[in-house]
Amino acid sequence: MTAKAQKATEASPFAAISEALESAAERFEEGASNARESAKHAAGSAKKAVSTGLYNGAYGVSYGIVYATVFLTELLPKDNVIRRGLEEGADAAFEAVEGKTEKEPTAAAKPKKAKKSKSK
Nearest partner of 4 among 30, 31, 22, 25, judged by Cα: 22
Residue 77 pLDDT: 92
Alpha carbon distance 20, 42 (integer Å): 32
Alpha carbon distance 102, 8 (integer Å): 89
Per-residue pLDDT 10s for the chain (120 aa) are: 555 555 545 567 777 777 777 777 777 777 767 777 777 888 888 899 999 999 999 999 999 999 998 888 899 999 999 999 999 998 998 899 888 655 555 555 555 554 555 554
> Which residues are CB-contacts of 103 (< 8 A; sequence separation ≥ 6)?
88, 91, 92, 95
